[in-house]
Amino acid sequence: MPELPEAETIARGLDLVLPGRTVRSVEVLRPDVVRGPPDEFAGAVSGRRIRDVGRRGKNIVLSLDLVRVVVNLGMTGRVLTSAGAHPDARSTHPAVVFHLEDGGRATYDDVRRFGMLSALGPRAWRRWTRSLGPEPLGRTFTAARLGEILAASRAPIRSLLLDQRRIAGVGNIYAVEALWAARIDPRTPARLLDPARVARLHRALRRVLRSAIAAGGTTLRNYRDASGEEGRFGRALRAYGRSGEPCVRCRAPVERIVFGGRSAFRCPRCQPGLPAR
């Protein structure tokens, strides 16, 4: 599933081509990817001008006049733009088509249809965005703020990093990579991290996310940016998906562990677990 760097990369690409254009009409081809009745979604968006395209957590946000369209890409969602009225050749599974007044179109395409589009007015937007945690690359996300979040939780640190109510945008790939960089076992209870390790994790998380954005995200299977290019951060992964391979830091074999129903990866030498009590 696309995480913060992938959503940020796509949003930046769309922000180069969509602002200033007006949505003439909306065609909902797959009602299951739209929250609420399709005609209400189409009516809320049609006739409105796109002001900008941004991101909140793992979601792409199209800001229009008096309404925001929140796009959660699910596993295989894509937003494709084309200058003409004909469907984009890359769109094999179109779900929602935004017809623009200048004759172009923007298409939400989704093979597996696990994504979701929502049209939110001002009050619904405030309620939704407040339900998410702080942005890890935001100015207010300091090491002290991270420490406050961790101190209130007994959950394993990897699980907490994935909780969008605590911190918005981090998924399994970048949680694993940040924990490797910070030399912290993914299973460590969050509240047991001392200030020094909290500070290391804060630096590592922000550094990993920024590096991934600079590389256009990580493509493992389906992810492509707004222009159809693969993300390049996969070649920089140090722990995620490298089970059995030597740690690039100490050469010990990276191991795969499973908890919370999901795989994590760690170096047993660089990321030692807590001693048994």
Residues serving a catalytic function are: 2-3, 58, 262
Please give the sequence-ordered ranges of beta strands (E in DSSP) within the chain, or none if there are none.
23-28, 50-56, 59-64, 67-72, 77-82, 94-100, 105-110, 116-120, 255-259, 262-266
Burial label, 227 (beta-carbon count in 10 A; 0-12, 13-18, 19+): middle
188: Cβ contacts below 8 Å, ≥ 6 apart: 156, 157, 273, 274
Q: Can you tell me the distance from the alpha carbon of 177 to that of 25, in angstroms, rounded to the nearest whole number?
A: 42
Q: Are 106 and 18 in contact (CB under 8 A)?
A: yes
